[in-house]
Amino acid sequence: MDKRRISFALLVLAVAAMPLAPVPELWITNLNYIGLYAITCLGLVLLTGVAGLTSFGQAAFVGLGAYTSAYLSTAYGLSPWLGLLVAMVVTVSVALVLASITLRMSGHYLPLATMMWGLSLYYAMSNMDFLGKYDGILNIPGLSLFGWRLGSGRSFYALIWLIALAAAVGVARLLDSRAGRAIRALNGGVTMAEAMGISTYRYKVKAFVIAAMLACTSGWLFAHYQRAVNPSSFSLSKGIDYLFMTVVGGVGSVWGAFSGAALTKILEDQLQVLLPRLFGGNGNYELIVFGIILVAILKYAPLGLWPYAERWLQRHLPPDRRHRDWGSATALETRSKPTPGELLLDVRSVRKQFGGLVAVNDVSFSIRAGEIIGLLGPNGAGKSTTFNLITGVLPLSSGDVMFRGAKVSGQPSREIARRGMSRTFQHVKMLPEMTVLENVALGGYTRSHAGVMQAVLRLDREEERRLFLEAERQLERIGMKDQIHELAGNLALGPARLMEIARALCTDPALLLLDEPAAGLRHKEKQALGQVLRQLKAEGMSILLVEHDMEFVMSLTDRIVVMEFGTKLIEGTPAEVQASPAVRAAYLGTEH
Ligand SMILES: Nc1ncnc2c1ncn2[C@@H]1O[C@H](COP(=O)(O)OP(=O)(O)OP(=O)(O)O)[C@@H](O)[C@H]1O
C-alpha cells in the first residue's frame, strides 16, 4: 500500500474512532454539521471548481431533499429511506428542468440565474401551507438502520460521515476517469472539449444533477438529524455560505470541501462567542469577519486553503504519479482508414460573413488521403475562419463541406470529430492542472464508453488502461514519452503544441487539421515540429496545415492554397506558389 492510501486509511480510522472517544458532545455535533456541509460542498467542487459553473442556489436543493422527506414522513408516515428515494426523484426532476433553462447561459448570467431559482424555491417553501410556511415542519422522525435507531448525535455521526467519505471517494473516482476528464474540459471553454467529441451540454447537465443529488442527500440527513426544518436553513444566504465554504477550502479539490466546511463551522462557533464579548450586543459581527477572511483568502490563497495544505503534504509524501499499470492492456479499436488517393475532404464554395465583412469568400479546395495541404495567407486572410468552418466551430453562410463522401457542414464539431477529423488550436487549449498523459487521453474520448456510474464503481479500469496505453503510444510517436507525468501547464510552447498533436492523434483521425502549429515557436522547436510532421506524412497521415510561415510550409506540403482578403488567390505545388508574383505581392505588399 502506498503512503497516500495509508494516509486515507488513517483518516478513515480517525473519523471512525471519534464518537468512541470521550470527546464532548459539542464536538460530535459540530463534526456532524461539518459532514453535512461537506456533502453539499463536494457537489460545488464538481460543479463550480471543476466544471466552472458557479451556483449560488445549492441550498435550494438541500431544502428539496429536506422538505420532501420531512413532509412525506410526517404527513404520510413514509419511511425516511423511501423519503430519500422520492426526494432524489424530485431533486433530479427539478435539476433537469432548471438545467435545461439555465445551463446554456454563460458568463455572469448563469450565477445570476442560480440566485433567481435559489430565491424562487426558498419562497415556494416559505409560502406553501402544507409545508408549514415560515414555521416549517416539526416532529420529523429520526432514522433507523437495520433496526438500530440513530437517536443520538454520536450514532448519527457514523451515518453522516459514512456518506460524506463515500461521496468524497465517489467524486475523486469520477474526476479520475473518462467522464471526469470530460467534466474538467468544460472549464477551459467548450471549443476544445467539443473538438474531442464531447457533448459539453450533456456533461454540464451531469455535473449539475450530481451536485443537486449530493445537496439533496445532505438535506435529507439534516431533516432527520435536526427533526425539524424551516425555510431559513435553505435561503439564498445559505447558498452563498456553501459557495463561501467551498471557495475558502479549495473549490478545485475534493478535500477542499471538507476543509472549507470545517474552517467555517469552527470559526462561526468561536466568533459567535468571542465577538459579542469584544463588541457587546447581539449583532451578526461574524458576517463581517467572514467577509474580511474571504477577501484575504481570495487575495493570498486564490485556490483556497486545501491546496496549501496539499503542497505541505507533498513534501512528506511521494509524488502523486500515476502508476504505469497499462503495459499489458489491449490496444483500442481503430477506424477503417481511407485508401491513399481517396477524396477525403471536399470544401465547396464555402462562405462566411460576419455582418458586412466577408471573411471567407466562396473558397474551394480538396484533400486526398495521404496528402499534406497547406492553407497559407497573410494575417486576416481568413485561414482560421476557413478552418473553423471545416471543423464545425462556425456555421457556414453558404457552401458545403464533404468529408469521406458525406456532408458534414451543419453538423456540430463533436460530430465531425467523431467522423475522424481532429484538430489543434492556434492558441494551445489544454487542461494545465492535468498531466500530459491525461490531456492526451482526452483525445481517446470517442473511442471509449465508460460513464459516470462506471467511474464511481471503478468498473472502468480496464478501459482506462487501454486509453492510457494509447495516449502513451501517441506521445511516444511524437517523441514526448519522457514527459508523460509532467503537468501540462509546465510545458513550454513547443512541447505544448506537440502534446496537442498527440491528443489529436489519440482520436485516431483520418484527417489531421493543424491551426498555425509553428506560431510563436523558436527555431529548434520549429525543427522538432517539422520532424514530427514529416514522420506523420511518411506514415500516410493526411494533414491540413494552416500556416502563416511560408518557409515552414514549403518543405512539408504537397500542395498549397493561398488566401488573401477571404478569397482563394492561388492553389499549386510549393514551387508554383513560391514563383507566383501574386503571392509575393500578397505577402510583401508589392510585386517583385
Ligand atoms: N467572430 C468574428 N467576428 C467578426 N469578424 C471576424 C470574426 N472572426 C474573424 N473575423 C474577421 O475575419 C477576417 C479573417 O480572420 P481570420 O482569423 O480567419 O484570419 P487569419 O487568416 O486566420 O489571420 P491570422 O493569421 O491573423 O489568424 C479578419 O478580418 C477578422 O477580423
Domain boundary among 215, 234, 253: 234
The 10s digit of each residue's pLDDT in 142-159 is: 888 887 787 777 889 989
For this complex, say whether ipTM is above 0.90: yes
Which residues are within 8 A (CB) of 324 and not within 5 positions of it... i.e. 6 or more apart?
none
361 in the same domain as 224: no
- At 197 the pLDDT is 95
State the pLDDT confidence band at 162, using cuts at 50, 70 and 90.
Answer: very high
Mean pLDDT of 551-559: 88
Which residues are within 8 A (CB) of 531 and not within 5 positions of it... i.e. 6 or more apart?
none
Of the candidates 170, 53, 169, 180, which has an alpha carbon nearest to the alpha carbon of residue 438?
180
Q: How far is CA 468 from CA 123, 328, 456, 462, 505, in A?
A: 49, 11, 18, 10, 13
Atom of ligand 1 nearest to the CA of 384: 22
Closest C-alpha to ligand 1, atom 9: 385
224 in the same domain as 84: yes
State the pLDDT confidence band at 588, using cuts at 50, 70 and 90.
Answer: low
Domain boundary among 202, 234, 266: 234
Q: Could you give the CA distance from residue 195 to residue 77 in angstroms, rounded to a whole number?
A: 52
- Say which amino acid occupies 235: S
CATH number, residue 560: 3.40.50.300
User: Would you give the DSSP letter of residue 317?
Assistant: S
Domain boundary among 205, 234, 263: 234
Q: Could you give the CA distance from residue 223 to residue 215 in angstroms, rounded to a whole number?
A: 12
Q: Ligand 1 centroid to 382 CA: how many Å?
A: 5
Phi first, then psi: give them for residue 364, nearest 5 degrees.
-130, 140
Q: Ligand 1 centroid to 381 CA: how many Å?
A: 7
**Ligand 1 binding site (Cβ under 6 Å of any ligand atom):** 354, 357, 359, 377, 379-385, 548
Range of the domain at 175: 24-234
159 in the same domain as 37: yes
Closest C-alpha to ligand 1, atom 26: 379
- At 528 the pLDDT is 87
- At 217 the pLDDT is 98
Of the candidates 78, 84, 219, 79, which has an alpha carbon nearest to the alpha carbon of residue 147?
79
Pocket-testing residue among 384, 515, 565, ligand 1, by greatest number of atoms within 8 A of Cβ: 384
The 10s digit of each residue's pLDDT in 236-262 is: 999 999 999 999 999 989 999 999 999
Q: Ligand 1 centroid to 346 CA: how many Å?
A: 22
Please state the pTM of the whole predicted model.
0.90
Contact by Cβ (8 Å): 536, 560: no
- At 443 the pLDDT is 95
Which residues are within 8 A (CB) of 5 and not within 5 positions of it... i.e. 6 or more apart?
none
| Total domains present in the chain | 2
Q: Ligand 1 centroid to 41 CA: how many Å?
A: 42
Q: H or E segment at 515?
A: strand 511-515
352 in the same domain as 225: no
The verdict on residue 482 lying in a domain is: no
Q: Ligand 1 centroid to 373 CA: how many Å?
A: 20
Q: Ligand 1 centroid to 536 CA: how many Å?
A: 29
Closest C-alpha to ligand 1, atom 11: 359
Of the candidates 388, 510, 508, which has an alpha carbon nearest to the alpha carbon of residue 446?
508
Closest C-alpha to ligand 1, atom 31: 380
350 in the same domain as 220: no
- Burial state string for 513-536 with b = 16 or more CB within 10 A and e = fewer than 16: bbbbbbbebeeebbebbbebbeeb
Q: Ligand 1 centroid to 63 CA: how many Å?
A: 49
- Say which amino acid occupies 156: F
Chain CA centroid to CA 505, Å: 21
Of the candidates 378, 338, 409, which has an alpha carbon nearest to the alpha carbon of residue 586?
378
Alpha helix positions (H), 227-304: 236-249, 254-279, 285-300
Q: What grid cell was written down for 383?
A: 485561414
229 in the same domain as 360: no
Q: Ligand 1 centroid to 343 CA: how many Å?
A: 28
The verdict on residue 155 lying in a domain is: yes
Q: Ligand 1 centroid to 579 CA: how many Å?
A: 27
Closest C-alpha to ligand 1, atom 2: 354
Q: Could you give the CA distance from residue 299 to residue 295 in angstroms, rounded to a whole number?
A: 6
Give strand ranges (E) for 17-147.
143-145
Contact by Cβ (8 Å): 186, 207: yes
Closest C-alpha to ligand 1, atom 12: 359
The 10s digit of each residue's pLDDT in 271-300 is: 888 887 777 766 677 778 888 888 888 888
pLDDT above 60: residue 172: yes
Q: Could you give the CA distance from residue 374 to residue 561 in angstroms, rounded to a whole number?
A: 6
191 in the same domain as 47: yes
The verdict on residue 291 lying in a domain is: no
Strands 148-150, 421-423: pairing is: unpaired
155 in the same domain as 32: yes
226 in the same domain as 348: no
Atom of ligand 1 nearest to the CA of 426: 27
Pocket-testing residue among 191, 357, 389, ligand 1, by greatest number of atoms within 8 A of Cβ: 357
225 in the same domain as 93: yes
149 strand-pairing partners:
144
Q: What grid cell was written down for 231?
A: 425555510
Which residues are within 8 A (CB) of 245 and not within 5 positions of it... i.e. 6 or more apart?
37, 41, 257, 260, 261, 263, 264
- At 589 the pLDDT is 62
The 10s digit of each residue's pLDDT in 381-428 is: 899 999 999 999 999 999 999 999 999 999 999 999 999 999 999 899
The 10s digit of each residue's pLDDT in 100-116 is: 988 888 778 889 999 99
358 in the same domain as 218: no
Q: How far is CA 408 from CA 391, 395, 412, 414, in A?
A: 9, 11, 9, 11
220 in the same domain as 80: yes
